[in-house]
Structure 1
């Protein structure tokens, strides 16, 4: 059976095949070789786009206002090598085949992520409404939890023709995908995730408590109540492309991906000599953050960094969060249409907070002498911690606990608090679940925390499209198709998971960066290879359905 991948469903294009094709992504005319492209943001989208554009003979210049890697942020604990806290993306579904192309190319190691009720977790504790349940599989939990899981499976089948849609994605059967998916866009864009659940026949037969459990504990990776207000389309995409399943983490930290791509010297670069890397083309470091973007009389685009250094570029790729174009970067309004500005400014980002501690060893694997169970488990709870994850780095290194991973209202509860207070609150919650376990006695060094909404370069963790936002997403995602735009709006491109159909997943950043690459190739007069058509070539035929305005 073919594996499920993030192949659509809005735009079913084989990005993984495109980047692996021996012919390459395309060619540029000789007079375009060496032309500079400004890339604003050195996260996954910016670095991957820069890497591919460099191979084609362009000179990408990266601007970064914060930390290299964006939300692929692996912060090391002090005093020990290779022990990290994954503050941003930390679990990567194997269906993200575009992203895994780069992981495999770089030779990085991955391992199963310790999600609830998976073998990698070992054991899971669900603590809900003051009752604690220990399990290794779903069958170990009370029947209520199986009823919830079965009800959601039935709701997906009833409301989304789920099995058939997933099979079409497995088969990469584009007409069948469009036949099923496009009517769902019109049916569910303006309805919420909660509406989908609560109005389904399967959940109508169950109690409110079943929906409550579904929100708190959820399916796959944990509770989903923070997504209840979102458009159901956002959740359907996650489910049908298995982004919520079969997840792995990058051993040693996912930040290795952008950092190694920055230094990587690919074979067969056009125009550039052997040994060229993004780092060497940028003089070893990124520019400071972009402060201003202006169109010049000759059609080039001027980017000024925060120290006042201005340069003119043949094209610009913006990969930062869309709100920064209004709040942090003085962006000439005429570079985008008013319709696109509406989409960029209405994009809604969700809050997210994580708190980590380093501990002396994987003590949670110790057995309780009375019960024979693990003394601590991966934990899902309705308490402030919400999700607690355990990472064993082996016998030669300290281990790591993500004490708390929370979203939206739960993340806002700790927003004003210093890291020590966050740790105290998390330990207090966990003590109610594990009253005889002294977690505090195992902690080493200083804790690490993040609130993404408090970072001026992000203003939130990831997009969460509200009902009615499909049209906005369509405008942003399709912006790389620029033939019909006026000259004043051409040459500036958008990428990043917030522009994609799969926000919060790095595959969305990969796919939109590759869209931008195809648009930039065309902008400089280049073309794709006949045997390896680009997203531009496929978009008119297989692009997302357009809802009437």
Structure 2
């Protein structure tokens, strides 16, 4: 890959707007009229999208009213192990590419420390073991891999370049050249919206001379973050975005747990907010805790939106930001059908969520750093396998602290294998699988405390881990993403704004959640008659010039 001087950035490609630039501009995000100061705005969901939206609305002088049905932080959930300070299991998002520029603007503002994530074949991992069909390969760098693995990696890189002018696209994204990004991306949308990732792999010329075994290895192992086969049915556009935006590289973890970001925004006291006195925070506006989950949304005759919480409390709002997973609007939240167009309802209901499961144990020390005196290899490594565990990650929390092993991280059908099982059985099955890869290593003897597990599809507030767009879903995604620009909407459909990573073009990545939250902030600001500064136009101001390509019906 050619070296490009500009840093990676989540700039587009569907809507190439600089969200971090808008955030960091000295003119700020804009203003609302003084008569709107203190006006309540409902924010449904206290995940990262909801809390970014609430925090920025508070800074504008509005009064966000946050509703949360479960856990503050959403899928940025860092569950602590009992008795071990700062030692957590990252149940949701755990690796964050530095190209997530808007997200890292908040990480940096909160003063949080990050370090490289121990992905396969990275220095942070130390070593990697790939175990396929009973054959185990140990590697401390790419040079240690057999030729077949390198052939797969080279074929994928060549296929990206041949089909997508990949280096030019990545260069345009890094340079934040909106015109160049649009010129490269828009023709690809029309060509690839209805084709799967697997279609790309099997039909690309660089893969044509390779065997099925090569494609199988690519699916089981992949490169960078691990296997790709769970994504094979997805639209190729979904994968291309990840590659072009560099979401699959230079990933970091947040030391002490990523939940510190939403928790930090909840408690942060912004400097010089409009309307509110110094010392105001989201927590203080809520007397320390968010409202209960939402049970119903209704349109009133006067145009306001009525929000009813799970215990029957009712409040009417001029504006609502809904950041919950979209399926909840047709399942656990009784939603007035008139709030959205039938075209948008089609998009919301066709959202397809992917399953994901993780199981963690705390161990007495990072024993995997020890080396076998006979072989010189680490006793255990970051592990990719076709066995039940699929991905095993190792976390060294520093001198004198327990380590953490993510025994298994699996998606889709592999995650469903774990779904009905209690945590102890998940641990036992994982240990049995790893014993076949590391015979003679007694991992169980190092385990301390209780294990922690999650299956996101079993959580009634999520029903899945994240969206995976299928072929033909680009039109649906465009409807959801562009919902914040409401100037042409019927009056009955105005005032409620969607946000969250499942509304974004980059599901499963926190940057999409942050960017759509900022879209919603612009939408609410415009709804109250506010405006951005002329020197710092917002996403809605640039919408007509930069909006996603329209494919038509």
Instruction: Pick the TM interval, shorter chain.
Output: over 0.9
Could you tell me how far apart the structure 2 residues matched to 1:352 and 1:72 are? Answer: 14
Take 1:492 and 1:324, find their aligned partners in 2: how far apart are those partners? Answer: 15
Matches within 5 A, 1:91-130: 91-130=95-134
* 1:140 and 2:144 correspond: yes
Q: Distance in 1 between matches of 2:177 and 2:267?
A: 38
Q: Which runs of 4+ in 1 moved over 4 A?
A: none
CA drift of 1:170 comes to 1.3
User: Is 2:192 aligned against 1:195?
Assistant: no
Q: What SS does the corresponding residue of 1:537 show, helix, strand or coil? A: coil
Displacement of 1:158 in angstroms is 1.1
- Counterpart Cα distance in 1 of 2:76 and 2:291: 19
Q: Note if 1:292 corresponds to 2:290.
A: no
Cα distance in 1, alignment partners of residues 171 and 538 from structure 2: 24
Deviation at 1:279, TM superposition (A): 0.7
Residues 159-183 of structure 1 deviation map (CA, whole Å, 9 limit, x = unaligned): 1110110011111111111111000
Aligned ranges 1:350-499 → 2 under 5 Å: 350-499=354-503
Query: Equivalent residue for 2:349?
Result: 345
Alpha-carbon shift at residue 397 of structure 1 (Å): 1.1
- 1:55 corresponds to which of 37, 40, 59: 59
C-alpha deviation, 1:498, in angstroms: 0.2
TM-score (norm 1): 1.00
RMSD: 0.5
Q: Is the 8 A contact 1:192 1:228 kept in 2?
A: yes
**Corresponding position of 1:510:** 514
Q: Which runs of 5+ in 2 are unaligned?
A: none
CA distance, structure 2, for counterparts of residue 405 and residue 546 of structure 1: 37
The corresponding residue for 1:17 is 21
Contact 1:138/1:145, CA 8 A, preserved across alignment:
no
Once the 2 structures are TM-superposed, how far is the Cα of residue 121 of structure 1 from its aligned partner?
A: 0.2
Residue matched to 2:279: 275
User: Cα deviations across residues 236-261 of structure 1 (Å, max 9, x unaligned)?
Assistant: 00000000000000000000000011
Tell me the SS of whatever aligns to 2:400: coil
Residues in 2 aligned to 1:474 and 1:272: alpha-carbon distance in whole angstroms: 36
| Cα distance, 1:476 vs structure 2 | 0.1
How far did 1:395 drift?
2.0
CA distance in 2, matches of 1:506, 1:174: 22
Instruction: Supply the distance in 2 between the matched residues of 1:327 and 1:207 (Cα, whole angstroms).
Output: 45
1:251 and 2:244 aligned: no
Partner of 2:270, secondary structure, is coil
Q: What are the Cα deviations for residues 3-39 of structure 1, in whole angstroms up to 9, with x where unaligned?
A: 1211000000000000011111011111110000000
**Alignment correspondent of 2:183:** 179
Contact persistence 1:290–1:304 (CA under 8 A): yes
Alignment of structure 1 residues 6-85 onto 2, 5 Å = 6-85=10-89
SS at match of 1:323: helix
CA distance in 1, matches of 2:290, 2:35: 25
Counterpart of 2:27 in 1: which secondary structure?
A: coil
Q: Partners in 2 of 1:161 and 1:196 — Cα distance?
A: 15
1:94–1:248 Cα contact (<8 Å) kept? yes
Post-superposition offset of 1:219: 1.6
Tell me by how many angstroms 1:214 deviates: 0.2
Q: Match of 1:358, SS?
A: strand
| Structure 1 unpaired stretches of 5+ | none
Query: How many Å separate the matches in 1 of 2:144 and 2:88?
Result: 32
| Distance in 2, Cα, partners of 1:303 & 1:548 | 34
The SS at the match of 1:531 is coil
1:169 to 170, 173, 196: 173
Q: Deviations over 1:200-233 (max 9, x none)?
A: 0000110000000000000210001000000000
Q: How does 1:306-317 map to 2 (within 5 A)?
A: 306-317=310-321
Tell me how far apart the structure 1 counterparts of residues 543 and 385 of structure 2 sit (CA, whole Å): 43
SS in 2 for 1:103: helix
Distance 1:45 1:18 in 2: 17
Counterpart CA distance in 1 for 2:15 and 2:224 is: 25
Q: 1:284 Cα deviation (Å)?
A: 1.3
Give 1:396 deviation, angstroms: 1.7
Residue 539 (structure 2) pairs with residue 535 (structure 1): yes
